[in-house]
Every structure is written in structure tokens, then in C-alpha cells.
Amino acid sequence: MTGDKNSILLSDISIEGDLIEKDKIILDAKINGDIKADEVITHQNSNISGNIESKNASIGGLMKGNVNSEKIKIRKTGNIEGVLNQKTLMIEEGAVLKIKTETHK
């Protein structure tokens, strides 16, 4: 049986280096490096210094870097500084942003 696989990194984890996941990665950790996955979800305790490349990204924590994704959702707990490149962008009220955004077709 093949199904969606989730990798979960909780708040007590700190990583120096790039992360590559084939399916979905859920982060509540400190990451200093780039992240590449089919779907990336960051929670409010996450602290990302690096770029994200994915099909779907949901950002809910601190992030300094660029996001290149088909769909980007910024949750109200998100605090982002960087460039967003996406087809679809959703921003919840309360998010803190210092961004440039580019929509691609």
C-alpha cells in the first residue's frame, strides 16, 4: 500500500543544512537551509532561514527566505521576509509580511 508520507520535525529539533522530502514535511523546528518537498507546512514555533520550493506551502512561523510554490498560504501566525513566487496566494489576517510577490501562470 502506498500512501502519502509525512515527515514531522518538532520544536526541539534544530537542523543546519538542506532538507529534501519527496512527499510532505511538517515543521515546527529551527532550520538553517533550503527545503524542497511536494508540500511544506510550517507551524508557529518554526524558524526557517532559507528558501522553500514546493507545490503547496503553508507558512505559520518565522521565515527569512524565498518561497517558490504553486500555492502559498500564509497563516495568521506567519512572519515572512523574502520573495514569494506563486500561482495562488492566500494571506490570513494578522500575518506579518515584508515581502515581494510575483505571480506566475
User: What's residue 3's pLDDT?
Assistant: 60
Check: pTM over 0.95? Answer yes or no: no
Label residue 7 by pLDDT band (50, 70, 90): very high
Short-list 84, 83, 76, 71, CA closest to 60: 76
pLDDT tens for residues 17-50? Answer: 999 999 999 999 999 999 999 999 999 999 999 9
In sequence order, what are the beta bridge partners of 54?
69
- Residue 104's φ and ψ, nearest 5 degrees, are -110, 160
